[in-house]
Amino acid sequence: MPAADLDVRGLSAGYGRTHVLEDVSFSVPAGGRLSILGRNGMGKTTLMATLMGLTRLYAGSIGLGGQDVTALRTTGRALRGIGLVPQTREIFKSLTVEENLFVGLKGRPRSAIDESYALFPRLAERRRNLGSQLSGGEQQMLATARTILGQPSVLLLDEPLEGLAPVICDMLMEAFTRLAASGAMTILFVEQRLESALGFAQDVIILERGRIVWSGTSAALRADGDVLERYIGVGGLH
């Protein structure tokens, strides 16, 4: 599936009666990268879940490649090309690495999993290990590889570096950068590590209490210490 543009308009969503996102609008061109920043609890994960159809939507629309996918449920959106790598990874712990990858094939031949091993050679070494036997970094690689196997046109990465050792973060970032450079998918990147987020994407939005309070380029944000201090909690980049 080729990369598609994503157009989000006036999105309001939440859980039950609780509104978490309010009037969120942004767009990402096909093959583009967007980083989503904000402190904890500001709605970043809810935004990812809403794009995937996992929350209650109160208002707004989601356009994917020029088509409105708002009315589609989770499976339908995934079939249209949205792929989520959740913050919690959610790999199948009683399945081996290889078996986890089988689940993500979406009808592709088994040999396609070699693409995953090419992207993350560590998974090839651990292919016979159960999901429960993997380290956090390996679980993240597996969750990412499993989603990418389905060839999404828009990839949602929700805090993929959370709690991982720096060396693993570097490996993952290298893989994400390679994926992004291929232009095969549009990537939305939620991340707490400011340097990684700004280095990865051309454009950034900042969420504060479920609303977009700042949007612009990574370069502009780097230069604006006040915005960083106010919304992210750092006065300058380390």
Partner 1 sequence: MTRQAPDSAAAARPMRSLGRDSVGVALVAIAGLAGYWLFPDNLSFLTRMISVALLVLSLDLVVGYCGIASLGQAALYGAGAYAAGIACLAGVTEPFLLILIGAAAGGVTGLLMGTIMLRAHGLPQLVLSIAIVQLLHEAANKAYSVTGGSDGLSGMAPAPLFGIFEFDLWGRTAYLFGLALLVIVFVALKLLVRSPFGMVCRGLKQDPLRVSALGISAFPVLLRMFLISGAVAGTGGALGAIATQVVGLDSVSFELSANALVMLVLGGLGNLYGALIGTVVFMAVEHIVAAFNPFHWLTLVGGLLVAIVLFAPRGLSGSIDEAARILMRGKRRTAP
Residue placing its CB nearer to partner 1 in the complex, 114 or 195:
114
Are 169 and 161 contacting, i.e. CB atoms less than 8 angstroms apart?
A: yes
> Near partner 1 by CB under 8 A, which window of 37-45, 60-68, 86-94, 204-212?
86-94
> Near partner 1 by CB under 8 A, which window of 95-103, 187-195, 200-208, 213-221?
95-103
Name every residue whose Cβ is closer than 8 Å to that of residue 95 and which is 6 or more positions away in sequence: 103, 130, 131
- With CB under 8 A as the contact rule, the residue among 67, 74, 133, 217 that binds partner 1 is 74
Q: Is 95 in the site for partner 1 (CB under 8 A)?
A: yes
Q: Is 114 in the site for partner 1 (CB under 8 A)?
A: yes
- With CB under 8 A as the contact rule, the residue among 20, 47, 52, 206 that binds partner 1 is 52
CB 96, min distance to partner 1, A: 9
As a whole number of angstroms, the distance between CA 207 and CA 158 comes to 14
CB 110, min distance to partner 1, A: 7
- With CB under 8 A as the contact rule, the residue among 2, 121, 136, 183 that binds partner 1 is 121
Q: Is 40 in the site for partner 1 (CB under 8 A)?
A: no
Residue placing its CB nearer to partner 1 in the complex, 127 or 230:
127
Name every residue whose Cβ is closer than 8 Å to that of residue 73 and which is 6 or more positions away in sequence: 53
- With CB under 8 A as the contact rule, the residue among 150, 164, 188, 232 that binds partner 1 is 150
Residue placing its CB nearer to partner 1 in the complex, 92 or 222:
92
Q: Is 146 in the site for partner 1 (CB under 8 A)?
A: yes
Q: Is 54 in the site for partner 1 (CB under 8 A)?
A: yes
HEC readout, 101-168: HHHCCCCCCHHHHHHHHHHCHHHHHCCCCEHHHCCHHHHHHHHHHHHHHCCCCEEEEECCCCCCCHHH
As a whole number of angstroms, the distance between CA 230 and CA 204 comes to 15
Locate 38 and state its tokens. Answer: 């904000």
* Count of residues near partner 1 by CB under 8 A: 40
Locate 187 and state its tokens. Answer: 């990537």
* Nearest Cα residue to 154 out of 102, 216, 206, 79: 79
Q: Is 139 in the site for partner 1 (CB under 8 A)?
A: no
List C-alpha distances in Å: 43 to 21, 33, 36, 62, 102.
6, 19, 10, 17, 32
Give contact residues for partner 1 (rule: CB under 8 A): 52, 54, 73-75, 78-79, 83-84, 86, 90, 92-95, 98-100, 102-106, 110-111, 113-115, 117-119, 121, 124, 127, 146-147, 150, 171, 174-175
